Amino acid sequence: MNKPRMTLIVSVAIPMASLVALAAVPAGAAPPQEADGSPGAEAAVTMTVGTHNVLRGKAEYRPFADVIGWQEVQDPQDRERLRKKLGGYGHFMPGKNPARQVPISWRKDTFEFVKGAAELTHKGEAKVTPNRYVVWAVLKHKKTNKRLVAMNTHFISGAWNKHPNRQARWLTHAEKLRKTVGNLHQKHPDLPIFLVGDFNRRKALKLPAGVDYIRVEGVKGVPIDQSYATGSVNNSKVKRLQKFGSDHHAYRFTATF
């Protein structure tokens, strides 16, 4: 008689364990789900990133992306016009004037500024070039608390048209940019990096930390206005937009991380 009794006890013990686990879940409760519907998944951020060289401040300022890197926002009045035209945006304009010409803007209802800096790439020369910088900002997405690094820069022009001094400056700028990307990745290894700017060369840069060039839809080759993103980011191709009064097109891509 002992054997049947032991079998009965084991067969009851398993359902009882399941009942104990189920008792911890409130009646009618569903497993936790995130925005994509998968249990326990982290909510994703989908955003647009843009770049526009605004012709020494003369072009129209358009709110064409969630995060925008501008080049040639030349004078204080141009920066004031940017603030007025994009009232719903925050702006990182570093203290030194040449660096303030390459500001970063973001939608205030979507992101908040965490910190930022301007890294000198090379010094300028009268009637040749101002000091050149890489400007970066860490932004936090308000709904998810996810953070990202936005970067913006503007290389010297004419470096690849038989100007050895300009070419040396361009190469110094590129090396400093690589170093800045690497340092930011080292300090913030989990954050995606988005880089835009006027590179003044029709060739993509090789950058560290898996930050890759993004092709422009319907455009052969590489334009001088370029966009890059961390390879783990799911992004669209870059779209070429209107010039909005500039001699450069504006560019925009969509990214999800």
pLDDT in tens, 152-209: 999 999 998 888 899 999 999 999 999 999 999 999 999 999 999 999 999 999 999 9
What's the confidence (pLDDT) of residue 96? 82
**3-state SS string for 93-148:** CCCCHHHHCCCEEEECCCEEEEEEEEEEEECCECCCECCEEEEEEEEEECCCCCEE
pTM confidence score: 0.84
What mean pLDDT, rounded, does the chain reach?
A: 88
In the prediction, which pLDDT does 163 show? 85
| Spatial CA neighbour of 155 closest among 197, 99, 94 | 197
Higher pLDDT, 40 or 134: 134
Which of 143, 172, 142, 179 minimizes the C-alpha distance to 155? Answer: 172
Q: Give the 3-state secondary structure of residue 77.
A: helix
- In terms of Cβ atoms closer than 10 Å to its own Cβ (0-12, 13-18, 19+), residue 227 is buried
Contact 151, 196 (CB under 8 A): yes
Q: Could you report the per-residue pLDDT of 236-256, keeping only the tens digit for each? A: 999 999 999 999 999 999 999
How many of the other CB atoms lie within 10 Å of CB of 196?
Answer: 31
The pLDDT tens digits for 61-120 are: 999 999 999 999 999 999 999 999 999 999 999 988 899 999 999 999 999 999 999 999
Q: Rounded to whole angstroms, how far apart are CA atoms 65 and 241?
A: 11
CA distances from 73 to 42, 97, 111, 175, 218 (A): 37, 10, 22, 24, 28
Cα 66 from Cα 107, distance rounded (Å): 5
